[in-house]
Amino acid sequence: MAAKLRAPGLLRAGVLTLVGIAFAAILDLTVRAATNAEPLVNGEAITLVALLAAPFFFLGGLGAFDEWLYWASGKPSRPEDHSGHGATSWKDYFRVNTDHKVIGVQYVVTSFFFMLVGGLLAMLVRAELAAPGAQFVDPNTYNGLFSVHASLMIFLFIIPVFAGMANYVLPLMIGAPDMAFPRLNALSFWMLPIAGVMMTLSFFAPGGSFATGWTAYAPLSTEVPMGQMFFTIGVQFAGASSIATALNFLVTIITMRAPGMSFWRMPLLVWANFATSLLVVIATPFVAASQLFVLLDYALGFNFFNVERGGDVLMYQHVFWFYSHPAVYIMMLPGFGIISEVLAVKSRKPIFGYRMMAFSLLAIVLLGFTVWAHHMFVSGMQPWIRVPMMITTAIIAVPTGIKIFSWLATIWRGVLHLDTPMLWSLGFITMFVLGGISGVMLAIIPIDIHVSDTYFVVAHIHYVLYGGSVFTIFAGIYYWFPKMTGRMFDERLGKVHFWMTFVSFNLTFAPMHLIGVQGMPRRVADYTEQFAGWNMLISLASFLLGLSTLVFVYNVVASWRGGTRAEANPWRAMTLEWQVSSPPPIFNFDAVPTVVGGPYEYGVPGAVHGVFRPAGQPDPHAKEPAGASARADAAGATHHGGTET
């Protein structure tokens, strides 16, 4: 028992979490006693300190800091023997695992868990909104439902699920054995459930969960009950996780590409994650700061946002949106990468305008930092700021348009395999373009003055984040499912899932454009009779949308357990992750691959993206189809190596 307690793992983590709470209580009591605070025992204060401190004890107990602590304390640090790599049972997913493939699966499964929680909250929101007046929740609970829904979907689903998929496939795609910093990678993942559990548990806080929307505008957020702090502090952990992962991606992409993998030979998914990581590293500290201000205002009376004491309310919105607009691209660019992979493979054609695709990603990164105040056209900021922000917001549609047109040119005259990943990709293009158009409309200041803070905005963000991001997530999950699990999914159920979602998604969100323009404000539990008919339809459609997700859950669970075995390269794709077995070997490549060409040379006779021998040696299989050649090499596991830089 004692040995079990000393070993890193969930048991030690649980015990140390309790120690952390006790530590928080003692620290709080000591400070309060020293400063003669009244009353001495303040439950809220103890909870607040515990929210900050206990997660570090939890991570320590889990073993996330062990190696670093050994090193820091001068003990002999253990050279990495890779014994922590891989997973042989489900238990291996519940420990600090440094294998990027295990971490990728941990990320994806955790994200989908919180997606189901967030989706359930959305169902409750729609149940309340099915008819005017109060149905079954009070306004405080209602405000909590949509606030936690948005926070979970953004911080615990869309952002991390992309990080998870990239974690799994990105090192494989660039021919690397793992991420650059495996221990940091593990730490990044384990900060995520902390944030998710914290936000979800806020419903049990005194006074209810945080109920000020995911935007948490001050001064409302500094005056409400302490459930707000579960968001404020939760975001710190989700944000830290994001930043650490983004740094990891950047270093991995810059330093760990296989020989021959120049930047202009990288698959667009890698480019997309490179661009996203730049956004995350630069922008995410701003949301952490905005919430830190709220925390200090709430807990210690800093009065950042108290105008009577010289505070400035608009400052919150500027700092918040300086992250939260780029965040929209953080939630979209990795999806662009996925779509490029799927469309090229499923159309059997090279990506049209590969370099422009990469440049447009970088253009979005740059422009993405110049548009934040379009969320504030009616906020009362300096009026002149609105005009340049309108122009940059409209112009950012140009690189986005380049991507859409290039995808259309890619499928043009291809040989289209209309299976599940392809359906989701085409569905993405058709839906995302609508989100883009309503985005341009919102950029037009006179229109925005009328529709901001209405259901038109709700419709817009769901077309961007659901019809956009979530469709790409499903495309990616189906596309890499065989690689990640070694099993094929049920194609028929995949199509049922797509069509159910596609139809109910449109029935749910398209009418919101109309009721928004007609004057229904967002974030209300009650509305006038005039909107009753549409809201009933929206609620019914949203329940169907909820059910469609269950089809997906059943499909992946059943297929993972008992699907047919997947071959190494069921899609005949050229990128490197498909040239190794499904799932890949524990260290990814038995032989270091050498990249000799572009990643999408479909239709080019004899073209190969990567070979498993040093560059410069004659290729005896040059005349064979690309996939076959590389597959034969992978299967043969011929060790050449020696060219790694």
Q: Which residue, 212 or 276, is less far from other proteins as judged by CB?
A: 212
- Residues 373 to 402: which contact other proteins by CB under 8 A? 378-380, 383, 386-387, 390-391, 394-395, 397-398, 401-402
Give strand pairing partners of 595. Answer: 610
The length of the chain, given as a count of residues: 645
Binding mask 138-167 for other proteins (x = CB under 8 A): xxx--x------------------------
Q: Which residue, 395 or 544, is less far from other proteins as judged by CB?
A: 395
Q: Which residue, 207 or 486, is less far from other proteins as judged by CB?
A: 207
Question: Does 505 participate in binding other proteins (rule CB under 8 A)?
Answer: no
- Residues 29 to 58: which contact other proteins by CB under 8 A? none
Two structure tokens written together for 265: 């030979």
Burial 501-540 (b: 16+ CB within 10 A, else e): bbebbbbbbbbbbebbbeebebeebebeeebeebbeebbe
Two structure tokens written together for 13: 């983590």
576 burial via Cβ count (<10 Å: 0-12, 13-18, 19+): buried
Two structure tokens written together for 322: 């300086």
Binding mask 451-490 for other proteins (x = CB under 8 A): -xxx------------------------------------
235 and 322 Cβ atoms separated by less than 8 Å: no
Radius of gyration of the chain measured on its C-alpha atoms = 25
Smallest gap, in angstroms, from Cβ of residue 135 to other proteins?
Answer: 9
Smallest gap, in angstroms, from Cβ of residue 275 to other proteins?
Answer: 18
- Residues 560 to 579: which contact other proteins by CB under 8 A? 572
Smallest gap, in angstroms, from Cβ of residue 78 to other proteins?
Answer: 49
Q: Which residue, 107 or 320, is less far from other proteins as judged by CB?
A: 320
Our CA angle for 158, 164, 167, nearest 5°, is 140
Residue 397 CB neighbours (<10 A): 16
Smallest gap, in angstroms, from Cβ of residue 643 to other proteins?
Answer: 27
Alpha-carbon span 189 to 183, nearest angstrom? 10
495 and 463 Cβ atoms separated by less than 8 Å: no
Cβ neighbours of residue 266 closer than 8 Å, sequence gap 6 or more? 173, 174, 253, 257, 274, 599
Question: Does 406 participate in binding other proteins (rule CB under 8 A)?
Answer: yes
Smallest gap, in angstroms, from Cβ of residue 66 to other proteins?
Answer: 44
Residue among 151, 243, 264, 248 nearest 200 (CA)? 151
- Residues 289 to 348: which contact other proteins by CB under 8 A? 307-308, 311-314, 347-348
- Residues 63 to 102: which contact other proteins by CB under 8 A? none
Two structure tokens written together for 521: 């404000």
Q: Which residue, 196 or 335, is less far from other proteins as judged by CB?
A: 335
- Residues 409 to 448: which contact other proteins by CB under 8 A? 409, 411-418, 426, 429-430, 433-434, 437, 440-441, 444-447
Question: Does 621 participate in binding other proteins (rule CB under 8 A)?
Answer: no
* Collapsed DSSP state (helix, strand, coil) of residue 611: strand
Smallest gap, in angstroms, from Cβ of residue 31 to other proteins?
Answer: 27
Q: Which residue, 255 or 262, is less far from other proteins as judged by CB?
A: 262
Q: Which residue, 383 or 616, is less far from other proteins as judged by CB?
A: 383
| Binds other proteins (CB under 8 A): choice among 4, 75, 355, 623 | 355
Smallest gap, in angstroms, from Cβ of residue 376 to other proteins?
Answer: 9
| Binds other proteins (CB under 8 A): choice among 127, 385, 524, 537 | 524
Cβ neighbours of residue 503 closer than 8 Å, sequence gap 6 or more? 544
Two structure tokens written together for 487: 């099993």
Smallest gap, in angstroms, from Cβ of residue 518 to other proteins?
Answer: 5
Alpha-carbon span 179 to 170, nearest angstrom? 9
Residue 23 CB neighbours (<10 A): 17
Our CA angle for 355, 159, 14, nearest 5°, is 145
Smallest gap, in angstroms, from Cβ of residue 58 to other proteins?
Answer: 32
Smallest gap, in angstroms, from Cβ of residue 552 to other proteins?
Answer: 22
Binding mask 581-610 for other proteins (x = CB under 8 A): --------------------xxxx--x---
Q: Which amino acid is at 112?
A: F
Q: Which residue, 164 or 435, is less far from other proteins as judged by CB?
A: 435
DSSP for 186-229, please give it: HHHHHHHHHHHHHHHHGGGSTT-S--STTTT-TTHHHHS-THHH
Cβ neighbours of residue 237 closer than 8 Å, sequence gap 6 or more? 55, 191, 192, 194, 195, 198
- Residues 219 to 238: which contact other proteins by CB under 8 A? 219-220, 223-225
| Binds other proteins (CB under 8 A): choice among 133, 301, 533, 570 | 133
Alpha-carbon span 158 to 498, nearest angstrom? 18
Smallest gap, in angstroms, from Cβ of residue 529 to other proteins?
Answer: 12
483 burial via Cβ count (<10 Å: 0-12, 13-18, 19+): buried
100 and 167 Cβ atoms separated by less than 8 Å: yes
| Binds other proteins (CB under 8 A): choice among 14, 86, 353, 486 | 353
Binding mask 181-220 for other proteins (x = CB under 8 A): --------------------------x---xxx---x-xx
Q: Which residue, 116 or 125, is less far from other proteins as judged by CB?
A: 125
Q: Which residue, 112 or 527, is less far from other proteins as judged by CB?
A: 527
| Binds other proteins (CB under 8 A): choice among 255, 262, 528, 564 | 528
Cα–Cα distances (Å) from 178 to 83, 101, 616, in that order, read 14, 8, 26
Element (H, E) at 272: helix 268-300
Q: Which residue, 324 or 406, is less far from other proteins as judged by CB?
A: 406
Alpha-carbon span 400 to 436, nearest angstrom? 8
Q: What is residue 594's DSSP assignment?
A: E
Pairing of strands 594-595, 610-611: antiparallel
Smallest gap, in angstroms, from Cβ of residue 432 to other proteins?
Answer: 9
Q: Which residue, 257 or 375, is less far from other proteins as judged by CB?
A: 375
| Binds other proteins (CB under 8 A): choice among 112, 190, 286, 352 | 352
Count of positions on this chain that bind other proteins (CB under 8 A): 93
Smallest gap, in angstroms, from Cβ of residue 426 to other proteins?
Answer: 6
Element (H, E) at 102: helix 100-129
Q: Which residue, 185 or 539, is less far from other proteins as judged by CB?
A: 539
Q: Which residue, 234 or 439, is less far from other proteins as judged by CB?
A: 439
